[in-house]
């Protein structure tokens, strides 16, 4: 590894937040920190701003002076990086890091979950994506098309269905209940409040409704049904990734654990916890990149 690198940064960036892990070349950890969303859907400048803020916080929390960006190498797993135009714009706006390796957040989640070994993941958060590295080393991706046209089973998908239910309640198309009222109040209460909320809402705003659905699922049939539908979508992704169920499969992301109870029983029994997280996966990606570009 080049001696001019003093620090390695691993980044996990999604539609709801950004997490970074900072380590020294010897592997000792400086610290971790979080900031706002860095999904590329919101544009490269916004993504870089969130990432730089999280890095600054990591050093500040550790009580250390942040070194120049030119002495740091950064590996990033970002939502939206599969869009080649967005990814290229992001890389072109590199604020000065000495080395940069970029992949989707699904890929770095996969690398972290199985420590770079063959396996599959379904990562469920603001969005949703399935990733697999097969026994022959093939990498495949399922879902991850983005909200609102895709991401079936994700937090934003769940939130969209919750909003629709609240709209139906406000219209009188379904009976008034506590679940619909809670969603309506979250979005400003009443028709006018919801119009205003919808005019401003982005993917992560819809995803913030998922915890409300989970909260009401125990005593509301509609909320319960939404989560069962999400579980069924997760199951389809898992079976598409590995039809014969030969590989270890990890359920990842902020909604992985809360949605486990709504998965089909066979998937509940099969799904394991990830061995490590996406910031470690981003670090693995970075080390692979540095090794591949090392001088002979």
What pLDDT, on a 0 to 100 scale, did the predictor assign at position 296?
Answer: 56
What pLDDT, on a 0 to 100 scale, did the predictor assign at position 131?
Answer: 95
What pLDDT, on a 0 to 100 scale, did the predictor assign at position 1?
Answer: 41
> For the chain, how many residues are written?
296
Q: How much helix, strand and coil, in percent to the nearest 5, is found in the chain? A: 50, 20, 35
CA dist 210 and 208 (Å) reads 6
- Per residue in 193-225, pLDDT (tens digit) is 999 999 999 888 999 999 999 999 999 999 999
The continuous run of DSSP H or E covering 8 comes out as: strand 7-13
- Per residue in 87-116, pLDDT (tens digit) is 999 999 999 999 999 999 889 999 999 999
The pTM for the full model equals: 0.81
Domains in the chain, CATH or no CATH each:
7-115+276-292 (3.30.420.40), 120-274 (3.30.420.40)
What pLDDT, on a 0 to 100 scale, did the predictor assign at position 295?
Answer: 56
Collapsing DSSP to helix, strand or coil, 97 comes out as coil
**Which residues sit opposite 130 in a β-bridge?**
122, 142
Residues of the chain with pLDDT under 50: 1-2
DSSP letter at 68 equals: P
């Amino acid at each position: 590894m080049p001696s001019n690198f003093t620090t390695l940064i691993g980044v996990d960036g999604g539609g709801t937040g950004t997490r970074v892990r900072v380590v020294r070349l010897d592997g000792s950890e400086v610290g971790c920190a979080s900031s706002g969303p860095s999904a590329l859907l919101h544009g490269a400048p916004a993504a870089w701003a969130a990432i730089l803020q999280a890095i600054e916080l990591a050093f500040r929390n550790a009580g250390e002076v942040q070194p120049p960006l030119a002495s740091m190498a950064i590996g990033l797993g970002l939502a939206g990086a599969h869009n080649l135009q967005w990814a290229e714009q992001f890389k072109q706006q590199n604020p000065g890091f000495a080395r940069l390796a970029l992949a989707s957040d699904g890929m770095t989640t996969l690398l972290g979950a199985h420590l770079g070994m063959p396996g599959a993941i379904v990562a469920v958060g603001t969005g949703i994506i399935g990733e697999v590295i097969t026994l022959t080393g093939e990498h495949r991706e399922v879902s991850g098309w983005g909200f609102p046209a895709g991401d079936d089973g994700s937090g934003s998908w769940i939130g969209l269905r919750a909003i629709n239910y609240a709209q139906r309640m406000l219209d009188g198309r379904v009976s008034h209940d506590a679940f619909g009222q809670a969603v309506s109040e979250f979005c400003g209460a009443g028709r006018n409040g919801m119009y205003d909320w919808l005019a401003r809402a982005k993917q992560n705003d819809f995803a913030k409704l998922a915890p409300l659905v989970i909260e009401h699922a125990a005593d509301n049939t509609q909320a319960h049904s939404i989560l069962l539908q999400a579980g069924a979508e997760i199951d389809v992704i898992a079976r598409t990734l590995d039809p014969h169920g030969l590989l270890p499969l990890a359920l990842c992301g902020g909604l992985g654990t809360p949605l486990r109870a709504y998965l089909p029983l066979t998937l509940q029994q099969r799904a394991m916890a990830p061995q490590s997280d996406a910031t470690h996966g981003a670090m693995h990606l970075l080390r692979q990149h540095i090794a591949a570009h090392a001088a002979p």
